[in-house]
Amino acid sequence: MISALLTAIFLSFFASAVILNYKIGRLLNLSFASIFTLGAYIYFSFNPTSALLLALIFGGIMGAIVSAATRKLSVAEATIISLGFSIAIEESLRFLYRTSYYQVMETNYVELFGEVVSIHEMLNGAMIVLLFLAFAAIPLSRRGFELKFVEDDWELAEMYGVDTSRIRFLTISISSSFICLSGAVLAPTQSLFPSMGWSSMVIAVIIAAIAALAGNAGLRKYGLTIPIAIAYTAVLRWLL
């Protein structure tokens, strides 16, 4: 139950990043799939502390490049370019590592509400929750109001003094940075292969699509990703 909840929080975080990029960046950022994978590979290539920092930096750089490459394009064109980036990262990882492997970390277990959970999973879960809260804080920040305006009508926001291209750039870069970091954080509990990010990506898009049916600007649709993700993981547990 607890690990399902942690998975749901991660998916909700991923879906929120997808929504934010769609609403502000005007693209379905498919590069997230490989940026997540990149984070996981960084974790296995460096020591944990520097890996987290590097994941944050590399994710941000990738996001900045995607943002710059998709400026002033239609949603469809920008989405296709982000898919190109995703494949480029994925194939580069395949070329560089040549192998996929499954890493089992040694860990201790604790009993929590009658359920045995690994400490590693708990720590990762806590980090993902922190990441999610940091992410949720963006719309609540001082710039949150402008963000809300850009979500609803970016041209109108631009007309009234909001630098929408800067907001777009920061949104894509920061969210990519967080996605890469989440890849690094979750790496010890995952099996690593170059296309590992796609399953999370596809589920996140589906959750985002259902949540976005709420249709309004503001926090509600991000909040909605949580119950949808919980419902998804519950259904999955029931099926399996």
Alpha carbon 42 to its chain centroid, in Å, reads: 16
Site pattern 193..222 for other proteins (x: CB under 8 A) = -----xx--x--xx--------xxxx----
When asked if residue 191 is in the footprint of other proteins (CB under 8 A), the reply is no
Sign of CA dihedral 3, 9, 14, 15: positive
Helix (H) or strand (E) holding 58: helix 48-69
When asked if residue 40 is in the footprint of other proteins (CB under 8 A), the reply is no
CA distances from 191 to 97, 101, 105 (A): 14, 6, 11
**Of residues 44, 64, 84, 219, which one binds other proteins by CB under 8 A?**
84
**67: amino acid identity, one letter:** S
- Cβ proximity to other proteins: between 46 and 97 the closer is 97
When asked if residue 159 is in the footprint of other proteins (CB under 8 A), the reply is yes
DSSP class per residue in 91-109: HHHHHHH---EE------E
Footprint (CB under 8 A) of other proteins, residues 99-138: none
The binding site for other proteins (CB under 8 A) comprises: 28, 30, 69, 73-77, 79-81, 83-85, 87-88, 90-91, 94-95, 145-146, 148-149, 151-153, 155-165, 198-199, 202, 205-206, 215-218
